[in-house]
């Protein structure tokens, strides 16, 4: 697939790793359905620097609403148009502990991080074809415990298992499903925690990841060069979390 252009849905497309993934596919000439709760605005100058910028189709929808996602995708893609890749990146990570969690926070974290993956995948499924790929975003917190991330870690562990289950379910159709588990990444949300410098000092490679480095892995997992890989979640942590 990587030698050709195609169509990809990217959730969380307005910022961070979602925006970088959007730009990575646009640079390669793809059509990107950029889905977020606010309108995404990729850097058109950057994505067109090599003269092969693809087509960006912004979609404003909430991944918690399956019907709204399906309607929004159908509104921007022609009837019968195929979807070659899905990048489920949208997520939230408010800190929680046994003392601070509440029902509303539980529902928000799991509805966006877990139900959202299922909703977008289900909305895309009628357009997915043999050779299509799905990449779900988990986190290193799915595999190791982080203080103050009671619900977030649990939600990302659920994404890892959903990735395996979907891989098994969709394999007969020739659709691959894999995951990415990033560690610390230089996104606006992570920067706002004020903990990135300390985090970088604890990482064996001595730095946090750039969003573009994570986006490159979405591209890799979406392509034919890893056509025999499905059901796996790749940890990208600079050596901070090994398994």
What CATH number is given to the structural domain containing 190?
Answer: 3.40.50.720
pLDDT < 70: residue spans in the chain: 1-3, 45-46, 48-52
| Structural domain contains residue 52 | yes
The reported pLDDT for the residue numbered 49 is 58
d(CA 226, CA 163): 16
Residues marked as catalytic = 152
| Structural domain contains residue 1 | no
Q: Is 129 left (phi over 0), alpha (psi -120 to 50) or beta?
A: beta
- Closest Cα partner for 197 from 206, 188, 189? 206
As given in the structure block, the two tokens for residue 221 are 């997992």
State pLDDT tens for residues 109-122.
Answer: 999 999 999 999 99
Write the DSSP symbol of residue 171. Answer: G
d(CA 35, CA 59): 5
The reported pLDDT for the residue numbered 185 is 94
The reported pLDDT for the residue numbered 48 is 65
- Closest Cα partner for 136 from 233, 61, 241? 233
d(CA 119, CA 84): 17
| Structural domain contains residue 185 | yes
d(CA 30, CA 155): 30
Residues of the domain holding 217: 7-236
| Structural domain contains residue 128 | yes
| Structural domain contains residue 2 | no
- Closest Cα partner for 134 from 167, 90, 111? 167
Q: What's the pTM? A: 0.94
The reported pLDDT for the residue numbered 52 is 63
Task: Give me the number of domains the chain comprises.
Answer: 1
């Amino acid at each position: 697939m990587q030698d050709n252009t195609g169509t990809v849905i990217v959730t969380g497309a307005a910022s961070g790793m979602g925006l970088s993934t959007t730009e990575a596919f646009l640079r390669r000439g793809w059509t990107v359905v950029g889905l977020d709760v606010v309108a995404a605005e990729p850097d058109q100058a950057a994505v067109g620097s090599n003269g092969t910028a693809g087509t960006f189709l912004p979609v404003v929808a909430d991944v918690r609403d399956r019907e709204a996602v399906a309607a929004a995708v159908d509104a921007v893609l022609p009837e019968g148009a195929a979807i070659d890749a899905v990048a489920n990146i949208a997520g939230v990570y408010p800190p929680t502990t046994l003392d601070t969690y509440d029902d509303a926070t539980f529902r928000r974290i799991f509805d966006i991080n877990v139900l959202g993956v299922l909703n977008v995948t289900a909305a895309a499924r009628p357009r997915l074809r043999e050779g299509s790929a799905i990449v779900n975003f988990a986190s290193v917190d799915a595999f190791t415990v982080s203080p103050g991330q009671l619900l977030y870690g649990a939600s990302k562990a659920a994404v890892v298992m959903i990735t395996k289950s979907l891989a098994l379910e969709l394999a007969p159709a020739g659709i691959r499903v894999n995951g990415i588990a990033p560690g610390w990444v230089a996104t606006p949300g992570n920067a706002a925690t004020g903990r990135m410098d300390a985090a970088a000092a604890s990482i064996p490679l001595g730095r946090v990841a750039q969003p573009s480095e994570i986006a490159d892995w979405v591209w890799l997992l979406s392509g034919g060069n890893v056509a025999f890989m499905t059901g796996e979640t790749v940890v990208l942590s600079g050596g901070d979390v090994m398994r």
